Amino acid sequence: MALEFTDANFETEVLKSEQLSVVDFWAEWCGPCRAIGPVIEELSKEYTGKVKIGKVNVDVNPDVSIKFGITSIPAILFIKNGVVVDKQIGAVPKSVLDKKIQAHI
């Protein structure tokens, strides 16, 4: 199951992690966000123990969203050692996200 990243745990769970983190910035009211949600869940199961995959609800966690300049959702950031190494804006097929993950693990 995808992790829940928040303003409170983002630094510890994502920025200080040595593992690649895939962070889906989303909101309940966003149709494309809901469409990509099952893909994020599938990837989180497939990469358990290898990649941290989770979601940030932008309505509940504005600090992290502002810090990373999130203006469009869904926005998926790929973060490794505290640095954004890749990003994807908008809903895309699972294969696109899988390819980006493979490039950074």
33 carries an active-site annotation: yes
Query: Cα separation of 10 and 32, whole Å?
Result: 23
* Cβ–Cβ < 8 Å for 83, 65: no
Of 20, 30, 51, 77, which is the active-site residue? 30
Of 20, 33, 51, 101, which is the active-site residue? 33
Q: Which amino acid is at 89?
A: I
> Can you name the residues that pair with 22 across neighbouring β-strands?
53, 78
> Can you name the residues that pair with 88 across neighbouring β-strands?
76
* Cβ–Cβ < 8 Å for 27, 73: yes
88 carries an active-site annotation: no
CB atoms within 10 A of CB 66: 12
Cite the active site residues.
30, 33
